[in-house]
Amino acid sequence: MIQITNSNMAVTAIARDVPELAAWIRGRSRSALREMVSLASRADLISLAGGLPDPALFPTRDYARALAESLASDGAALQYRPSFEPLKRQVAELMAERGAPCHADQILLTTGAQQAITIAVSLLLERRGRVVVEDVTYAGLAEAIAPFRPEVLTVRTDLSSGMDVDAVARLAADGLRPAFVYAIPDGHNPCGVTMSLAKRRQLVNVARRHQIPIVEDDPYGLLSYGAAPLPPLRALDQDWVFYLGTFSKTIAPALRLGWMVLPADLVGRAQIVKEAGDLESSSLTQRAVSAYLDTGRFQAHIRALREVYRLRRDTLLKALETHFPPAARWTCPESGFFVWVELPPDIDCTTLLDAAIQEERVAFVPGEVFAMGAQRASNAMRLSFATCASDAIEEGVRRLSRLLARRIPRD
């Protein structure tokens, strides 16, 4: 029996047996993803933290109309339903625009890219199997593989050309057959780097030669800011690349709608894995997104998003150039939402975040959140230029640089 008392009352709690949790979750109580979203949503801060698209850019009115039409025109729009085939065909058209044509029967609609990750992981990874990931990568991948308690093999990320594919080739040549290699070739989260074309070709060749699937996570591929985006890995190989897409960054995250493109003979099995998770993604949302795509306004919407986010990226890069200490280094993203900043090794960005919030009311995501295996990224931070307008981005960087000026002597 445990007694918790204060001066006014005594609370008696009966000690009870607690369910024994599975080993992989026992030691964990915090979700880095959830904390990031909370931080990014705080109204009292300038937040350069989350990968949250700016809500002012959501096509709310068009989507509301499409949603109302779907409800009105289909009496069973709220019913349990199989995947909406017309939407698969529309996604196939989007894939063609993305430079990686596919057939509708190679597509599985998912509840966001995050569910697509968990499905890919369940399809490919045995318990205590091996995976190859970059030593800083999307935190949601770590959460998806954790229940399998895998052996995580890490390779470095070059901040101008992406994943160290030579290292992947060496691992493969050593016979360390991983269940898959996880890659974010465009708009890398958190590094904001684009994988070079040479590395894309090399990675696909390694995958084919050693029969290693690649999970290509591509939430940001349609948000590219240069003249000629590179082909996704899926465009270079259709057998070994499992492609994951989403409407979260281009329409809105609350839709929770994404997709996988995989070899047609695996779609049925992927569907079984999905059903274990949620039976089906919202049939109403599938119909509403399809109706929205039918309006033909999505392409103009994407062009407008690219324009706004490109300007914000430029604002962030210019502000860093103007205000940040000379010892800092950062990436120049060609797509996506993120700039990765590296500071001198003695700056710990996890403790810096507390000071940033308390002293300057500004937030970022400390690099440690993305570190895999034994890698440390304590002197790095991820800045997002997606959520705030340009003046807030500039002010945020000014605040951060004041904070850094108190810690890094200018020479």
Residue numbers at the binding site for ligand PLP (CB under 6 A) = 51, 112-114, 138, 140, 184, 189, 217, 219, 246, 248, 253, 258
Contact criterion met (CB below 8 Å) for 236 and 202: no
Query: What 3-state DSSP class applies to 134?
Result: strand
Provide the 10 A C-beta neighbour count for residue 79: 9
CA distances from 215 to 109, 121, 189, 239, 327 (A): 16, 9, 14, 11, 35
Closest CB 240 distance from ligand PLP, rounded Å? 20
Closest CB 33 distance from ligand PLP, rounded Å? 8
Give residue number: closest CB to ligand PLP: 112
Residue 219 dihedral angles phi and psi, to the nearest 5°: -70, -20
Pick 52 or 408: Cβ nearer ligand PLP = 52
Closest CB 254 distance from ligand PLP, rounded Å? 9
Pick 51 or 162: Cβ nearer ligand PLP = 51
Pick 51 or 232: Cβ nearer ligand PLP = 51
Pick 135 or 394: Cβ nearer ligand PLP = 135
Task: Retrieve residue 47's tokens.
Answer: 């937040």
Smallest CA-to-CA distance from 367 within 136, 88, 76 is with: 136
Task: Retrieve residue 376's tokens.
Answer: 């440390």
DSSP state letters, 309-320: HHHHHHHHHHHH
Pick 384 or 401: Cβ nearer ligand PLP = 384
Pick 183 or 328: Cβ nearer ligand PLP = 183
Provide the 10 A C-beta neighbour count for residue 345: 10
Closest CB 110 distance from ligand PLP, rounded Å? 8
Angstrom distance (rounded) from CA 356 to CA 370: 19
Closest CB 75 distance from ligand PLP, rounded Å? 29
Closest CB 112 distance from ligand PLP, rounded Å? 3
Closest CB 256 distance from ligand PLP, rounded Å? 7
Pick 138 or 148: Cβ nearer ligand PLP = 138
Angstrom distance (rounded) from CA 53 to CA 220: 11
Radius of gyration for the chain, computed over Cα atoms and rounded to the nearest angstrom: 22
Place of tokens 């096509």: 59
